Amino acid sequence: MKLLVSKKPVLLSILIGMLLMTISYFFQPLMPFKSIAHRGASALAPENTLASFEKAIEMGFDYIELDVRLSKDKQLVVIHDANVLRTTDGEGLIEELTVKDLKNLDAGSWFSPAYAGEKIPLLTEVLKQASGKIGIIIEMKSPENQPGMTEILADVLNSYKPDSQIKVQSFHINEMKKFHELAPEIPAGLLLSKHLDLFHLASYRDFASFLSVHHLLLSKSFINQAELFGYEIYSWTISKQYQFADMQRLGVHGIISDDEKRIPDSIMYVLITPFLKGQDLIKTLLA
């Protein structure tokens, strides 16, 4: 004789558990954060241009985040890719083009005809534009492959006395150590795309004051551990509105995003956040 067990109590327990988790998540406080415009307000203007930085200032961001590379004539230019193909009407590697060559390129039309004629800016031009208006986070792109970049950046920032706050970050640990030695008064940070253990958190504190971490790697426990060592934690790169509340509940200190937070937190986003996060994780793993 088979023993018939009703599935209703099991299903009810699962539903109650999900409801309690949702309620618990909903009542976690939304912590304040510094808003950081990824390559400027890059959802609304061509990335890493004076137009995108001006738009970020108008929108009230706390910081702009930008990328620097060295031109052939050893000047710091603001661009993300090693090649100009994606964001200009030209071709060629940054390291093989002079500033004069780069300034002849159109860095705005690819985004919208409204930005035709926008130029690749020099770092010094951005510093002049943003001084006293907004903070600046500068990412050194591949400094280990561009001899002299770290020294040149340190010289520029040491000689520049802005009214706005400036920070520098990179994925490359040794170059950030060197930068800190050359410019100890300017906050230095590490970009991270993998987990850190307590040993690394302790050892990096000698030269780094903040960590910029991929948002899928962040957890409440990691942030709590990092705070014990005095780090600020910034999440990158937030591209969807529901993720703002998710990062706020974790307690990050800054959110790097292409656009500002527009949609107010609601019970709907609480309910669908686990599903959306799962989709994002699967897409990331399959990418």
Question: What tens digit of pLDDT does each residue of 47-66 get?
Answer: 999 999 999 999 999 999 99
Nearest to 34 by CA among 252, 284, 278, 263: 252
pLDDT the model gives residue 1: 42
Question: Who has greater pLDDT, 194 or 224?
Answer: 224
Tokens matching residue 39:
């390559």
Catalytic residue ranges? 38, 80
β 232-238/76-78 pair status: unpaired
pLDDT in tens, 83-141: 999 999 999 999 999 999 999 999 999 999 999 999 999 999 999 999 889 999 999 99
* C-alpha radius of gyration, the chain, whole number: 22
- Kindly tell me if the per-residue pLDDT of 195 is higher than 90: no
pLDDT above 70 for 30: yes
Is the pLDDT assigned to residue 268 strictly greater than 80? no
Closest of 262, 180, 250 to residue 213, by C-alpha: 250
Q: Which of 168, 172, 165, 220 is nearest to 193 (CA)?
A: 172
Spatial separation of the C-alpha atoms in residues 234 and 30, rounded to whole Å: 15
Provide the pLDDT for residue 245. 87
> If you average pLDDT over every residue of the chain, what do you get?
88
Average pLDDT over residues 7-14: 62
* pLDDT greater than 90 at residue 4: no
Place 241 in a pLDDT band, splitting at 50, 70 and 90.
confident
**pLDDT at residue number 82:** 98
Q: What is the 3-state secondary structure (H, E, C) of 23-62?
A: HHHHCCCCCCCEEEEECCCCCCCCCCCHHHHHHHHHHCCC
